[in-house]
Chain A
Amino acid sequence: MDLIIILHAGVASGTVLLFATLGELFAERSGVINLGVEGMMLIGAMSAYSVALYTGNPWLGVVIAMLAAGLISQIHAFIAITLQADQVVSGLAITFLATGISLVLGEGLSKAGAVSLLPNLSIPLLSQIPLLGAIFFTKQSVLVYIGFLLIPLAWYYIYYTRPGMHLRAVGEYPAAADALGINVFRLRYFYVFLGGILAGLSGATISLAISPGWFSELTTSGQGWIAIGLVIFAQWDPLRAAFGAYAFGALRRLIFDIQGPTTLLGLANPFYYNPYWGFILQMMPYAFTIIVLVIGSREALRKRLGAPAAIGVPYIRGERGL
């Protein structure tokens, strides 16, 4: 069991969480919780895989996946923003709906055979850096590098650009933003759409790059929900979100790989000789999510940090809001 191999694979599987987490982060920053991430990821994974299968072009698959998930997210946007319904229930409904749709349309896809996947590449100079080069820049999927680029972009956008400031204003104090001439409704629709697009990208990352294929609901196996947990842990900060995503990716790989070798640190590997301990290992990512949430919540309580003030609250013009 080589640590570098695990971290290398961890960065790859962390990319899945990264896209979904950043997408949800944008939506929540604008004041809309979208609990449909898991469903949108499934839609993304399913449509990416089937488009790549039928056209032979994985890139087209990625684009369609993003659009399909973005489309689904707009149902949530319509219900939550225009119809002002409860966002929690609406998000859950989106998960059911999207899961159902992807199961229906993905019927038979799991036996469909191999598709052309997205290419893996090494970055010429950066891959020469000792240790880091081997983990981050050698033979990773293109999408992993897109993920690397997205982190600083999201961070800079949210904190240092004008639209980013509008985004935060809409999530913190929509009435004031409205008074300043910012179109609260349009921005919220847009960021829910962005969240959907990124969730679709995250799904495509699974089915076309990280663990290729369509395994119905097991394709995502709850990663959409972990992403929502990570947003809370990250306290709506993209850098912390990225850290959380990669840490969880590495953890997933560790759990997966630890059962392989016969010896562990020179001792007999208990996980190899007791394969049923695998079930205990399977609990780990989910247990860690809860632990991470507890840590995040304690910290938020202590520092009086918190969610965007208007999160989950529909904005109704002319009504005294927050």
Chain B
Amino acid sequence: MSEMDTPNNSTSSEEIPPSEPIIRSFPYRLRIEPRMEEPARWYPFLLFLGALVLALVIGGFLLVLAGGDPLRSYAHIARASFGNIGVISDTIVKATPIIFTGLACSIAFRMHLWNIGAEGQFIMGAFGAGAVVLIPLLPEGTPVWIFIPVMAVAGIVAGAFWGFIPGFLKARLKVNEIITTLMMNYIAIAWINFFIFAVWSEGGFQMTTKFPDNAWLPRLLDYANRIPVFRGLTTHLGFLIGVLAAFVLWYIIFRSRWGYEIRLIGDNPRAAQYAGINIQRNTILVMMVSGALAGLGGMSEVAGVVHRLQTSPIAAGYGFTGIIVAWLAKLNPFGVVLVSILFGALILAGREIQPSGLPKMIQGIILVCLIASDFFIRYRIRFVRLGEEI
């Protein structure tokens, strides 16, 4: 940030497009000019890495200010998240909910629908899945292969419903979806709290009873007696479902007619309208799909990890992290999976790190640097010898 700050901010910002000497008394000057040609394929990737490194440097600097040791903290993060197969598995467990919320955000953002409500949709998905067990909707001895799909459907429906409300308000009444989705997050937290504390509370504790075994997603460690390497690994089926969802979403966005409509609305709503694409209908649909993905993530988390309803591990901010992840991945579904694993590592290792707000701060810095770096895709900076004209 700071490096870019100095050149064009100092001579107030109005003079960007025309060439303007910025560093005087120096035989070269800095020119910022719009990029006419497509940048090379590797260029955005390099920019991404540069922004990431810059973010870590800034984060380290702030860490020093707060009295920490950045190198030790970063080394600790790397060791605690990729050090051995056990922690890699833990990293994947942490990444799984983020994959879902990241995918949820990426499809909505693709249409420039700012769904900030993945958090609430995730919570409602967890609630829906939990309700199947706790009401209970299914008799006690129901086999796993019926229980899990029913929970998944319940999670999807609950999440989609939570996405439908802001989608409908946006499509029909032009109500700003940023605010409504955000408010729905707070409502979802109060909603699930009400059930956890009052309705399904286990003996007055702030959690429900543990789900029966047949409502658990299969985990690697369940197969440890056949494949000994899996002993103690808690990676669950949700990860596979998430990767599968990424494939499906990729196909929808880049290979289907509907995906084309979504991309067209996002890039140029007016052109989409003239092409006869129903924007209202797509707004509602995309919000519902987005909510459904987040809701499925909530189901995967309660059935795969938490195994009960409990506020703090469910409303842990995965929905918000999903926003950053979607953006870092440039809204590409496969990118979401990769970035989610990185962020899973950050969250996993961050739990033991002091001060505890650190992972959140680094996430924020990464996002800020990345957004700022996009400038260099549209513009380039050249050093020009003084007196030399192009």
A interface with B by C-beta (< 8 Å) = 35, 75, 78-79, 81-86, 88-90, 92-107, 183-186, 189, 216, 221-222, 225-226, 228-229, 232, 276, 279-280, 282-283, 286-287, 289-290, 293-294, 297-298, 300-301, 316-318
Contact = CB atoms under 8 A, between A and B. Distances in A.
B193 interface: yes
A279 B183 contact: no
B62 A101 contact: yes
A289 B169 CA distance: 13
Given A100-B361, A293-B176, A294-B169, 8 more contacts: A78-B5, A85-B372, A85-B374, A89-B327, A93-B324, A100-B364, A286-B190, A301-B174
The 9 closest A-B pairs by CB, nearest first: A103-B357, A100-B361, A97-B364, A276-B198, A96-B364, A107-B355, A279-B194, A100-B360, A93-B367
Contacts of B174: 297, 300-301
B183 A229 contact: yes
A290 B183 contact: yes
A100 B364 CA distance: 7
A103 B62 CA distance: 12
Interface string B1-21: 100010011001110110000
Contact of B357 (A104, A183, A280, A300): A104
A228 B179 contact: yes
A308 B296 CA distance: 38
A247 B191 CA distance: 24
Q: Of A216, A279, A280, which is in contact with the most chain B CB atoms at under 10 Å from its CB?
A: A279
B116 interface: yes
A82 B368 contact: no
Q: Of A93, A184, A228, A293, which is in contact with the most chain B CB atoms at under 10 Å from its CB?
A: A93
B371 interface: yes
Given A185-B13, A222-B186, A101 B364 contact: yes
B357 A286 contact: no
A75 B1 contact: yes
Given A93-B368, A100-B361, A297-B175, A184 B14 contact: yes
Interface string B184-195: 101100110110
A104 B353 CA distance: 11
Contacts of A79: 368, 371-372
Contact of B180 (A75, A90, A183, A290): A290
Interface in B339-382: 354-365, 367-368, 371-372, 374-375, 378
A159 B35 CA distance: 41
Q: Of B17, B183, B362, which is in contact with the most chain A CB atoms at under 10 Å from its CB?
A: B183
Nearest to B114: A88
A96 B360 contact: yes
Contacts of A78: 1, 5, 9, 13, 372
A104 B354 CA distance: 8
Given A96-B364, A283-B190, A294-B175, A183 B62 contact: no
Nearest to B196: A279
B156 to A, nearest CB: 23
B12 A186 contact: yes
Contacts of A186: 12-14
B132 to A, nearest CB: 21
B40 interface: no
Contacts of A297: 169, 173-176
B323 interface: yes
A189 B361 CA distance: 24
A289 B183 CA distance: 7
Contact of A104 (B187, B191, B358): B358
Contacts of A97: 361, 364-365, 367-368
Nearest to A35: B178
B390 interface: no
A94 B371 CA distance: 11
A126 B153 CA distance: 61
Contacts of A232: 176, 179
Nearest to A83: B375
Nearest to B198: A276
10 contacts: A89-B367, A96-B363, A96-B367, A100-B364, A104-B66, A189-B13, A222-B183, A286-B186, A289-B183, A301-B173
Nearest to A289: B183
Contact of A82 (B8, B169, B193, B360): B8
B179 A280 contact: no
Contacts of B250: none
Interface string B212-253: 000000000000000000000000000000000000000000
B320 interface: yes
B198 A104 contact: no
B368 A298 contact: no
A104 B362 CA distance: 10
A94 B324 CA distance: 12
A117 B215 CA distance: 52
A280 B364 contact: no
Contacts of A317: 14, 16-17
Contacts of A103: 355-357, 360-361
Given A81-B13, A232-B176, A276-B194, A104 B361 contact: yes
A127 to B, nearest CB: 36
Contacts of A101: 62, 357, 361, 364
A89 B371 contact: yes
Contacts of A98: 364
A293 B179 contact: yes
Contact of B371 (A35, A93, A185, A280): A93
